[in-house]
Amino acid sequence: MSLAHANSNNNTTDSNQINDINDHNDILYKYKQSVQKRLDSGDLLISKLIHENTLLKQQLDNKQQEIDILQDKIVKLDEICQNLNRGNLKCKEDIEIIKDFFEHLCKVRVHEYNEDDQGLWFDISQECGVIANNDTLIMDYKLGFIKSSAKKNEKDEQPSNNTEVIYIPLLKQRSLKELKLLQELLPTYMFDTLSFPLKSLYQFFNKLNKSLNKKKK
């Protein structure tokens, strides 16, 4: 083999080795770039997660503050409700005292009352004087206070709201003897359902009281 041919082979070998080294370096460089890119992406993802976590924590803190404020309001409202309940109980006690006092003075007892779409209804017992053997006579009836829209007068442009009183005698609780005595004391119309304006209520009570307490002939 000639010297020139040998040198040519050596040059080719060196060139191939250099190319292999360059290829290896290129692969290593690309690998490093890929790793660095992944690291950068990971850092970016971590930064995003930290930022989102910070925002969520801030939102959670804000929600907790709102919950604390609402809990304080609930406590205050609960105290108000308790005070109102105590006040309502006191009012009921006062009403019962007034009812007892009213019954003692006027011999009129309101047993119960309720409200419906028409108005207020009261179940009432009214006592008359002693009739015989220390017995007392009682007239039971129901009074309803009904709000009705009256027809407008010629002079009035707008209709006015009037309250109408409904009187309903309750006779089923009385014995035949008691009913007979009541018939002797009360006018006939007191055994029928009546209606009259609120302004005549005093006149009604006055008439009923006088009739129940008049002396039998």
Does residue 6 register a pLDDT over 70?
no
CA distance 159 to 157: 7
The pLDDT of residue 110 is: 83
Averaged pLDDT for residues 8-21: 61
CA distance 123 to 140: 8
Instruction: With cut-offs at 50, 70 and 90, classify the pLDDT of residue 134.
Output: low
C-beta separation of 193 from 167 below 8 A: yes
Contacts 24+ apart (CB under 8 A), 138-143: 138/174, 138/178, 139/169, 139/182, 139/186, 139/190, 139/208, 139/212, 140/169, 140/170, 140/171, 140/173, 140/174, 141/167, 141/168, 141/169, 141/170, 142/166, 142/167, 142/168, 142/170, 143/167, 143/168
Domain definitions of the chain by residue range: 1-106, 107-212
Residue 137: closest CA among 104, 176, 178:
178
- Collapsing DSSP states into helix, strand and coil, what is residue 49? helix
**Residue 92 and residue 113: Cα distance in Å, rounded?**
13
Does the pLDDT value for residue 172 go beyond 90? no
Q: In whole angstroms, what is the distance from residue 192 CA to residue 196 CA?
A: 13
Of 13-27, 36-50, 78-92, which range is least confident? 13-27
Q: pLDDT digit string (tens) for 183-197? A: 888 899 999 999 999
Q: What is the pLDDT of residue 39?
A: 72
Whether the pLDDT of residue 217 is over 60: the answer is no
Cα(65)–Cα(67) distance, rounded to whole angstroms?
A: 5
pLDDT value of residue 46? 83
DSSP 2: -
d(CA 113, CA 124): 9
Residues whose CB falls within 8 Å of the CB of residue 151, separated by 6 or more in sequence, listed in order:
159
- Is 70 exceeded by the pLDDT of residue 164? yes
Please state the rounded mean pLDDT for residues 69-84: 89
Q: Residue 127 in contact with residue 107, Cβ under 8 Å?
A: yes
Can you tell me the mean pLDDT for 67-96? 84
| pLDDT value, residue 137 | 81
Task: Note the pLDDT of residue 102.
Answer: 61
pTM, to two decimals = 0.50
β-strand pairing of 135-149 with 108-115: unpaired
- The residue-averaged pLDDT of 115-122 equals 86
pLDDT at 150: 44
CATH number of the 107-212 domain:
3.90.1150.80
Question: Would you state the pLDDT for residue 165?
Answer: 92
Q: What pLDDT, in 10s, does the model give residues 25-52? A: 777 777 777 777 777 777 778 888 888 8
